[in-house]
Amino acid sequence: MSTPIQTVDLQLEPEDNARLANLCGPFDQHLRQLERRLGIEINNRGLAFRLIGDPDATRFGEQILRDLYAETAEAVLSPETIHLALQGAGADALLDEIEDRLPEVVIKTKRGLIRARGPNQQEYLHAILKHDINFGVGPAGTGKTYLAVACAVEALESDRVRRLLLVRPAVEAGERLGFLPGDLAQKIDPYLRPLYDALFEMFGFEKVNKLLERNVIEVAPLAYMRGRTLNDSFIILDEAQNTTPEQMKMFLTRIGFGSTAVITGDVTQVDLPRGQPSGLRQAVEILKDVPGISFTFFNARDVVRHVLVQRIVNAYESYERLKPARSSPDTTS
């Protein structure tokens, strides 16, 4: 059974817009830092905050926000301040306590066994096996898409579904489809490449191409889902943070009988035009209490790519924390 998620609402006081901006950081970067570290979602309207995620992590996040807001009365917050606040409050100890809940799940494919790495991946696999609609929310590299594809491949090979549909919104930072070379198929192919990579690893190149030719596997942009009803299918919506609320509702209402859907995304990396709300963020808030829908929230500790990737991530985070100090003028003579 997957761990239930919890919603915590808090109202920070006293009301002060300058202190609120200090707390949130430029473009809400302080809130995104807390989300990645704790594996929760943080939404706010002014000083009214809503935290969604693991019960222990959301309660911890509530206290951190209160403490940081108190600090804004006398200090300017920075990524380094947020990092030190998390460390000092015992974030690592909390995450260690959260991590040890479920027995191991192994996904069997013809290319071999795929095992979860860490408790959040275990919880994610349990949820996918038990629910028709599943959300995997967290940073890149935490295995959200790869494990979803593994579950889809196992479902197809065991005849639990008749086809796989792998879907992505064709939205990326800094580029528009109209300015990319080629016809429509060539334009959208790069956006779907991560899904192809996972399929090739689990099925092999030749079998994937045969299944694509027979439409047993369909890889398509999100816009192609409108007007369809998808029965006996395993459907994965990847990069869902780049859906609009209307697109997310459209996708979720495509799901028919005998189907399983997995929606993955990183709410801290939205490439939609500024001011356009993310359909993934809205869906988490709207659907969090709907029976039959599961949510798994990953955090930065769940990154499972090459060991050097974690070192690179840590180096960049250290650079960002120290950047204000490096950019300040040298007052010594």
Domain match, 146 and 240 both: yes
Domain match, 110 and 252 both: yes
Model confidence band, residue 173 (pLDDT cutoffs 50, 70, 90): very low
> Given a cut of 60, is residue 172 above it in pLDDT?
no
pTM above 0.75, yes or no: no
Residue pair 134/292 in contact (Cβ under 8 Å)? The answer is no
Look at the chain and report how many structural domains it folds into.
2
> Which one, of 313, 321, 267, 262, lies nearest residue 141 by Cα?
313
Asked if the structure places residue 312 within a domain, the reply is no
Model confidence band, residue 174 (pLDDT cutoffs 50, 70, 90): very low
pLDDT in tens, 178-229: 555 555 555 566 667 777 888 888 888 899 889 989 999 988 888 888 888 8
> Which one, of 261, 200, 208, 203, lies nearest residue 236 by Cα?
261
49-63, 90-104, 285-299: least confidently modelled range: 90-104
Among 74, 98, 122, the domain boundary falls at: 98
What integer best gives the mean pLDDT of the chain? 83
Among 49, 67, 98, the domain boundary falls at: 98
pLDDT in tens, 262-292: 999 998 888 888 888 999 999 999 998 898 8
> Given a cut of 90, is residue 249 above it in pLDDT?
yes
11-15, 179-183, 329-333: least confidently modelled range: 329-333
Structural domain boundaries enclosing 18 = 6-98
CATH code at 49? 3.30.1370.10
CATH code at 183? 3.40.50.300
The identity of residue 244, as a single letter, is T
Q: What residues have CB less than 8 Å from 226, skipping those under 6 apart?
A: 250
